[in-house]
Structure formats: structure tokens, C-alpha cells
């Protein structure tokens, strides 16, 4: 990650822009600029060789104005406080855009999970859970999966929390396995939301009914489900990548074969081969010949260096924060619409909300019901954002911020400042 890039400053600059267009006074949105609570913990883990290693962990609660805090936990060797702060802020905005009764939070552990054994990863997760236990809970703050965490990690969090409470608390975390209170449709939910957003954007922008050439950066949970669902809709996935690099094939890659390969090779595409598919780097993926680009990996990918060379006619952000403020300006000048993360990738937290609702009521919903409700929320939110964009002549990101910030400011005003 570039040294001078600060994801939190990136978001504050978008906030200022949205607040000005909403004619807000500084006192109306001053509180939004700061997270309510930041917890930093040092997590000791007994490693397999008998040594103890200490890892940095964070849980940052940006806002609880509209409901309990909500947001994932990521494991990544390069996370820091500012990144978690920005991601927590993004969760507050995301939940407001899609109108979930939640605020926003994010957690992280600075670790490369690929370097840990399964046992080490479990001990790290359980100790981290115990250390953030005073501030999480179904009515306070509900974690979920994010980069490098999954249903198994959520299961350890749920079990640790439940053991320490003395009774089973499935609603403390979402993205769990079905057997312990997970929801049907949750694993695919973020990718499903991205693919619905791509379809809505193609319709809105009148980009034609013909199958589009789509490039997907990142083949983790979000990217792989996005690629799968968009190819099932008939589009051509011309490029995909993961941390080991990517592939380009103008006639469309065999996504089913790639997914099978990933399943059999510990999630990686390294070593995959397909006739007619050329090896490309991640940067080449971002600038490849395609109609739609969906960055579904990490933040700070579409920078001012990359943006002038992007060939896509539409960008839909599956990842959180993949585009810098400078790159956004370039896309605006180049007339390339960007559907922002807080709208496009909100499908995950929407179905997390459904999971939590089922948990706290001891209900189970069928998959059709989950997918239909998700689709309804994604389409409704997309239309609300494009209406604002049209009315205020604002880029989609600013319009989405305007929608979220106005809801947040209203909630704060109604609640007032305690005491």
C-alpha cells in the first residue's frame, strides 16, 4: 500500500463533499467524523513450537446512532488503525444506504493467516474474541466475516462468546455455518448483491442487453461469487485474478472450472491452466479490455496511476475502498461511472442482518425468501442512489454518501447529545 495513502482521509474528503451538497452545517456532521470507540488489544498466542507470539488486534465502533454496531473482522498482515477506522466508517454508511437498523464497526488482526496452523488460528481467534468480549454482543456489536475470515472463524467466535456467557448466543456473530444458526444465502450474498448491482447499472446506463465482458479482480468470497453469478446471467468473464496473478481470455473464461480448481487447491488459482487464457498481473487486469470492471479484492487498487488506463465503461466496487479520491476524479473526467462500495457490496451485510433477525427470533428462512428480500433491497437502494445522483448532478459515490449521511444526521439529531 502506498505510504502517503490514508483510507480514512480518503473517506473524510468524500464526506465533506457530500455534506456541502446537503447544505449541512459543520456541527451537524462533526460527530460523524470520529469513531465512537476504538479498542486496541495485544493478543498472545501459544504457537505450535511452544513459543508465545503477540498479535495486534482492533475493534473500532464508528457509530451506534441507528442501531447496534455491525461489521466484519479481517485477518491481514498490513492492517493498521486508520484502515480499520475507515472500514468501520464505511460500515456505518453502508448500513444507512440500504436502511438496515445498524451502525458500523470493523475489527482486524494484523496477521498473515496463511502462515498459521489451524490450531494457531483457532487459538488466536478465541483469545481475540475474549479480549473484545466486553464490547461485542447481539445488542451491541455483531462481527462477521471479512478478508481472510470465514464461517469457521465465526463459529469459533460464537463458541468462545457463548462459553464465556454460559449459554448459546448465535446472534453475537453472522456469517456462521448453517448448523449453528447461519443463514441460507449468506455465503453468496455479497457477490449476489454485486451482480444485482451490475445488472441494474447496465440497465440504467443503457449499456445494452448483449452479454458484457466483465473483469473481476479478486477471487475470494466476493469475487468468486460475483464471477459465478454474472457468468450464470450470460455475461462473459474475460478476466479474473487472485494474489498470485490472473488470467485473460477474450471469449470468456471457464468460471466453473476455475471454481472447482480453487476448491481443490486450497482456494488459490496458482497452477490453473485453460486453453486460450493468457497469464496477466493484477495491474493488467485493472486495465484490460472489458466493459465492466469489478474490483473485489482490497482497497487502494484504482489509483491515479491506474485510472487513466482503465478501459472499462463501468466500475462496480465489490471490495471496500478500492478507488482513491484522485482516481475518482479521473473517472469522472473520463465519464466512467463508478458504483460505490457502500452500495454495491452491501449484499453481505444485508443477509447478515437477515441472519441476526432469524437468530434473535429463533427462526429459519428458506433461501428463496432470503434471495428475494436481498434483491428487493439492492434494487430499491440502487434506485434511491441514482435518483439523488440525477437530481443533484452528483457522481454515484457522492449520491450514496448523501443518502447515508442524511439518515445518520437525522438519527443523531433526534437522539440528541447525551447528557
Site string for ligand GLU, 376-415 (x = CB under 6 A): ----------------------------------------
Part of the chain binding ligand GLU (CB under 6 A), chosen from 55-63, 109-117, 343-351, 390-398: 343-351
Q: Are 241 and 282 in contact (CB under 8 A)?
A: yes
Q: Which is nearer to ligand GLU, 246 or 348 (CB)?
A: 348
Query: Does residue 322 touch ligand GLU according to CB under 6 A?
Result: no
Of 327, 384, 319, the closest CA to residue 83 belongs to 319
| Those residues with Cβ within 8 angstroms of residue 272's Cβ, 6 or more apart along the chain or in another chain | 247, 258, 261, 265
Query: Binding ligand GLU by CB under 6 A: which of 59, 62, 66, 70?
Result: 70
Spatial neighbors of 288 by CB under 8 A, at least 6 apart, are 215, 238, 239, 248, 280, 311
- Contact of 246 with 290, CB cutoff 8 Å: no
Per the rule left: phi > 0, alpha: psi between -120 and 50, beta: everything else, 158 is: alpha
Binding residues for ligand GLU restricted to 150-209, rule: CB under 6 A? 174
Q: Is 136 in the site for ligand GLU (CB under 6 A)?
A: no
DSSP letters, 79-147, are: --HHHHHHHHHHHHHHHHHTT-S--EEEEEEE--GGGS-HHHHHHHHHHHHHHHGGG-BTTTEE--B-T
**Residue nearest ligand GLU by beta-carbon distance:** 72
Selected binder of ligand GLU within 57, 67, 68, 72 (CB under 6 A): 72
Q: Is residue 223 at the binding interface for ligand GLU, with CB under 6 A as the rule? A: no
Cis preceding linkage at 419, omega within 30: yes
- Closest Cα to residue 350, out of 178, 177, 196, 160? 196
Question: How far apart are CB 320 and ligand GLU at their closest, in Å?
Answer: 5
**Identified binder of ligand GLU from the candidate list 28, 120, 146, 159, rule CB under 6 A:** 146
Interaction between residue 149 and ligand GLU (CB under 6 A)? no
Site for ligand GLU in 6-45 (CB under 6 A): none
Contact 106, 146 (CB under 8 A): yes
Q: Are 288 and 310 in contact (CB under 8 A)?
A: no
Q: Does position 352 bind ligand GLU by CB under 6 A? A: yes
**Alpha carbon 47 to its chain's center:** 30
Q: In this chain, which stretch among 153-161, 345-353, 361-369, 411-419 interacts with ligand GLU, using CB under 6 A?
A: 345-353
Binding residues for ligand GLU, total number by CB under 6 A: 12
Q: Which is nearer to ligand GLU, 148 or 287 (CB)?
A: 148
Asked if residue 109 binds ligand GLU (CB under 6 A), the reply is: no
Q: Which residues are catalytic?
A: 106
Residue 46 C-alpha cell reads as: 501459544
Q: Does 144 bind ligand GLU (CB under 6 A)?
A: yes
Q: Does 320 bind ligand GLU (CB under 6 A)?
A: yes
Residues that bind ligand GLU (CB under 6 A): 70-72, 94, 144, 146, 174, 320, 345, 348-349, 352
Amino acid at each position: 500500500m502506498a505510504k502517503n495513502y490514508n483510507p480514512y482521509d480518503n473517506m473524510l474528503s468524500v464526506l465533506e463533499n457530500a455534506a456541502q451538497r446537503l447544505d449541512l452545517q459543520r456541527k451537524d456532521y462533526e460527530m460523524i467524523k470520529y469513531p465512537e470507540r476504538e479498542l486496541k488489544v495485544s493478543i498472545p498466542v501459544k504457537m505450535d513450537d511452544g513459543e508465545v507470539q503477540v498479535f495486534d488486534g482492533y475493534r473500532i465502533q464508528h457509530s451506534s446512532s441507528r442501531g447496534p454496531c455491525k461489521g466484519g473482522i479481517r485477518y491481514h498482515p498490513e492492517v493498521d488503525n486508520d484502515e480499520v477506522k475507515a472500514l468501520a466508517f464505511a460500515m456505518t454508511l453502508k448500513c444507512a444506504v440500504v436502511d438496515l437498523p445498524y451502525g458500523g464497526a470493523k475489527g482486524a488482526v494484523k496477521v498473515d493467516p496463511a502462515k498459521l496452523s489451524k490450531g494457531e488460528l483457532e487459538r488466536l481467534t478465541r483469545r481475540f474474541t475474549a479480549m473484545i468480549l466486553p464490547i461485542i454482543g447481539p445488542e451491541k456489536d455483531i462481527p462477521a466475516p471479512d478478508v481472510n475470515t470465514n464461517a469457521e472463524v465465526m463459529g469459533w467466535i460464537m463458541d468462545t462468546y457463548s462459553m464465556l456467557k454460559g449459554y448459546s448466543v448465535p446472534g453475537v456473530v453472522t456469517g456462521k455455518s448453517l448448523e449453528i444458526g447461519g443463514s441460507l444465502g449468506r455465503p453468496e450474498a455479497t457477490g449476489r448483491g454485486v451482480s444485482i448491482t451490475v445488472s441494474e447499472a447496465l440497465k440504467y446506463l443503457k449499456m445494452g442487453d448483449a452479454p458484457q465482458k466483465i473483469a473481476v479482480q479478486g477471487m475470494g468470497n466476493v469475487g468468486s461469487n460475483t464471477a459465478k453469478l454474472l457468468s450464470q446471467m450470460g455475461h462473459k468473464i474475460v478476466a479474473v485474478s487472485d494474489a498470485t496473478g490472473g488470467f485473460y481470455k477474450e471469449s470468456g473464461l471457464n468460471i466453473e472450472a476455475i471454481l472447482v480448481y480453487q476448491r481443490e487447491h486450497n482456494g488459490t488459482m496458482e497452477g490453473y491452466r485453460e486453453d486460450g487464457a493468457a497469464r496477466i498481473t493484477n495491474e493488467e487486469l485493472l486495465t484490460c479490455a472489458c466493459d465492466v470492471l469489478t474490483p473485489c479484492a482490497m482497497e487502494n487498487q484504482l489509483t491515479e496511476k491506474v485510472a487513466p488506463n482503465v478501459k472499462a465503461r463501468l466500475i462496480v466496487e465489490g471490495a471496500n475502498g478500492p478507488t482513491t479520491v484522485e482516481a475518482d476524479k479521473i473517472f469522472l473526467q473520463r465519464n466512467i461511472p463508478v458504483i460505490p462500495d457502500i452500495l454495491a457490496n452491501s449484499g453481505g451485510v444485508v443477509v447478515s442482518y437477515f441472519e441476526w433477525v432469524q437468530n434473535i427470533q429463533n427462526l429459519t428462512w428458506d433461501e428463496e425468501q432470503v434471495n428475494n428480500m436481498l434483491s428487493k433491497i439492492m434494487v430499491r437502494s440502487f434506485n434511491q442512489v441514482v435518483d439523488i445522483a440525477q437530481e443533484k448532478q452528483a457522481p454515484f459515490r457522492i449520491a450514496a454518501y448523501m443518502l447515508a449521511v442524511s439518515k445518520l444526521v437525522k438519527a443523531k439529531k433526534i437522539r440528541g447529545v447525551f447528557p
